[in-house]
Amino acid sequence: MPITLIENFRAVFYSPFYAAMALKAYEQEGLDVRMQASPAAHQTLSTLQSGAGQVSWGGPMRLLHARDQNPASTLVAFCEVVGRDPFYLLGREAKPNFHMRDLIGQRLAVVSEVPTPWYCLQHDLRLAGVALTQVKVEEGRTMAENAARLKAGEVDVIQVFEPLAQNIVDEGVGHKWYAAASRGPTTYTTLNTTREFIAREPDTVLKMTRAMYRTEQWIAAHDARAFAELIASFLPDIPINTLTAGIAGYKAGGIWNVNPIQQRAGLDWLREAMIGCGAIRAKPAYEDVADMRFAQRVVQEPA
């Protein structure tokens, strides 16, 4: 049976999913997995629930939100791939000893395309004792628009991911102040499905998890250039040197898991960030939104 894997959107930090396809990791498990683009990031889970696909990837943020809206939600993560936050803060001036308090009084343009980066940055600020009223936050524009505004001097700091971050550094118009990955585990991207699909197709879920585990191990064992060359065809608009540099930064920040088990600390951090900014009210348990039986099993299998 062909398995439709719904792609959240195309991004450098999702490179492990492209690597799995390039390495034919699913085929080695006897699976026919086909990627299908989601209409939009906020529609990925609804597309999954509609039956248009069996598995999707995306942020556990949306699983937490679904659970908050409906305590009977059966949406669940079964394999973690991105365990740390892939976003950066870039400023026009160099700031090698950055602290969150350095944002006080700054014109900060935040990500509008997806909510998780801003949820997390708000929590960073709260934990640092910085009130939002102390920062001149600007919302509603795209990352590309904010990059242009940074170059024009219209804002002081922007929140972006790769390759925009590397492009800005290479052009000499901005400096990386803060890699959000440095805060530690923040569950960011998982393979998601429904408990009903897991009950019907446990062997498929196991094989997909095993394929991603082998991919995670391949990534850990290879350098940024090899990784970039492997997945370059999925990101043809990004020059190979820019892609390599972006991947090198992500590898250094440890954003990609070395095994598929979702970290409890990462889910706890994300949940508290969402509660803190009012995105959710309930406090679901780890087991409410994560089923790691298959991840634990493949990690314990003989090499």
Lowest-pLDDT range, 31-45, 124-138, 239-253?
Answer: 31-45
Query: pLDDT tens-digit profile of 242-262?
Result: 999 999 999 999 999 999 999
Q: What is the pLDDT of residues 257-288, one digit of tens each?
A: 999 999 999 999 999 999 999 999 989 999 99
78 with 190, same domain: the answer is yes
- Kindly state the tokens that stand for 289: 């939104």
Report the predicted TM-score, pTM, of the whole model to 2 decimal places. 0.96
Q: Is the pLDDT of residue 303 over 80?
A: no
Q: Which of 43-52, 224-233, 269-278 has the lowest mean pLDDT?
A: 43-52
264 and 155 both lie in a single domain: no
Predicted confidence at residue 65, as pLDDT, reads: 96
What pLDDT is attached to residue 274? 97
Q: Are residues 157 and 212 in the same domain?
A: no
Q: Are residues 18 and 155 in the same domain?
A: no
31-40, 43-52, 94-103, 242-251: range with lowest mean pLDDT: 43-52
Confidence check: pLDDT of 98 > 90: yes
* Cα 303-15-17 angle, rounded to 5 deg: 60
- 229 in the same domain as 148: no
51 pLDDT higher than 90: no
Q: Are residues 260 and 288 in the same domain?
A: yes
Looking at residue 63, what is its pLDDT?
A: 96
Strand 107-109 relative to strand 157-160: parallel, antiparallel, unpaired?
parallel
DSSP E strands: which ranges in the chain?
A: 2-7, 32-37, 55-58, 75-82, 88-91, 107-109, 136-138, 157-160, 175-179, 189-194
Domain that holds residue 257: 2-84+185-300
Planar angle of CA 280, 286, 289, nearest 5 degrees: 70
Average pLDDT over residues 158-186: 97
Instruction: Provide the domain count of the chain.
Output: 2
Contact between 3 and 204 under an 8 Å Cβ cutoff? The reply is yes
245 and 228 within one domain: yes
pLDDT band at 137 (very low <50, low <70, confident <90, very high): very high
Mean of pLDDT values over 110-138 = 97
Q: Per-residue confidence at 39, pLDDT binned at 50, 70, 90?
A: confident
Percent over 90 (pLDDT), the chain: 93
177 and 207, same structural domain? no
- Domain-terminating residue out of 158, 183, 208: 183
- Residue at a domain's end among 160, 183, 206: 183
Contact of 299 with 259, CB cutoff 8 Å: yes
130: domain CATH number? Answer: 3.40.190.10
Predicted confidence band at 48 (pLDDT cuts at 50, 70, 90)?
Answer: confident
The burial class, CB within 10 Å (0-12 / 13-18 / 19+), for 75 is: buried
Question: Does 233 share its domain with 94?
Answer: no
Helix residue ranges, H only, 109-163: 116-127, 143-151
Task: Please write the tens of the pLDDT for every residue from 52-89.
Answer: 899 999 999 999 999 999 999 999 999 999 999 999 99
How would residue 2 be classed by pLDDT, with cut points 50, 70 and 90?
A: very high
Residues 68, 192: one domain? yes
Ramachandran angles phi, psi of 138, nearest 5°: -120, 120
Torsion (CA) 191, 77, 261, 41 in degrees, nearest 10: 40
User: What is the distance between the alpha carbons of residues 111 and 138, in angstroms, rounded to a whole number?
Assistant: 9
166 and 257 fall within a common domain: no
Q: Which of 135, 152, 183 is the last residue of a domain?
A: 183
Q: Which residues pair with 82 in a beta bridge?
A: 189, 256
Looking at the fold, whether 51 and 155 belong to one and the same domain comes out as no
Using DSSP bridges, classify how beta strands 75-82 and 107-109 pair: parallel, antiparallel or unpaired: unpaired
- Answer whether residue 6 shows pLDDT above 80: yes
Mean pLDDT of the chain: 96
**What residues contact 87, with CB distance under 8 A and at least 6 apart?**
111, 117, 120, 121, 159, 160, 161, 180
10 Å CB burial of residue 237 (0-12, 13-18, 19+) is exposed
